[in-house]
């Protein structure tokens, strides 16, 4: 039973690591898009995870409303 539990935990750990990797890569791409679009006051899109685009779009909105 311990072997099954260990295999399950290993699979779960790999899934979490893959998710974190893709979330971090998506955040970096969104940051680069932010740098390109902030001066044009143009929102970014095409993020793998919506919260990354939302984060930088809010920053663009704040910068453009000043």
Residue 51: what pLDDT? 95
Per-residue pLDDT of the chain (66 residues; tens, 9 = 90+): 889 999 999 999 999 999 999 999 999 999 999 999 999 999 999 999 999 999 999 999 999 987
CA dist 26 → 1, 3, 7, 12, 64 (Å)? 38, 35, 29, 21, 23
Short-list 10, 15, 62, 20, CA closest to 41: 62
Per DSSP, helices labelled H in 38-49 are none
For CA atoms 16, 13, 28, 26, the dihedral sign is negative
Q: For the chain, what are the domain ranges?
A: 22-66
Residue 20: what pLDDT? 97
Q: Is the pTM of this model over 0.95?
A: no
């Amino acid at each position: 039973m311990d072997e099954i539990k260990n295999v399950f935990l290993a699979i779960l750990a790999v899934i979490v690591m893959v998710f974190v990797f893709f979330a971090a890569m998506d955040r970096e791409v969104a940051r680069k898009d932010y740098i390109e679009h902030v001066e044009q006051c143009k929102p970014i899109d095409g993020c793998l995870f919506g919260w990354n685009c939302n984060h930088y779009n809010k920053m663009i909105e704040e910068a453009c409303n000043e």
